[in-house]
Every structure is written in structure tokens, then in C-alpha cells.
């Protein structure tokens, strides 16, 4: 998997310890599952942003 390779390379680079732990845990989880990671530009998340804000407002009432 191309992303696994990229993440593995990132782990080999010196990165802050708190992020490194998250990346290493993610790699362990990725070994046991089929995972698809995609970057979505902010413009593509407007509906999710609206729904999250709406849920937050409703919860606050």
C-alpha cells in the first residue's frame, strides 16, 4: 500500500514524540484492516462542517 509506505518513511524521520506515538499506533491498526485514507479539501467538507455545528448548537440547548 502506497500510504503505508509513506507513513513508514515518516516514522523513520525524526518527528515529535507525541505525533510519533499516534503514527505508530495507526500503523499497527492498518496492518489488521483495509483502510483508505484520503485528503479532502475544506471546500468539500462544508456539509460535514454544517452538520457538526448544528449538532453542537442543538446539544447546547
pLDDT, residue 58, reads 81
Q: Distance of alpha carbon 57 from its chain centroid, rounded?
A: 25
Q: What is the pTM of this model?
A: 0.33
- C-alpha 21/C-alpha 54 separation (Å) is 33
Residue 50 to residues 7, 13, 55, 60: CA-CA distances in angstroms?
Answer: 31, 37, 9, 15
For residue range 24-41, list pLDDT tens digits in order: 888 888 888 787 778 878
Count of structural domains within the chain: 1
Q: What range does the domain containing 6 cover?
A: 2-60
Amino acid at each position: 500500500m502506497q500510504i503505508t509506505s509513506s507513513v513508514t518513511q515518516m516514522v523513520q524521520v525524526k518527528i515529535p514524540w507525541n505525533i510519533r506515538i499516534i503514527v505508530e499506533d495507526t500503523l499497527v491498526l492498518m496492518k489488521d484492516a483495509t483502510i483508505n485514507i484520503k485528503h479532502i479539501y475544506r471546500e468539500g467538507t462544508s456539509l460535514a462542517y454544517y452538520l457538526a455545528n448544528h449538532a453542537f448548537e442543538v446539544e447546547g440547548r
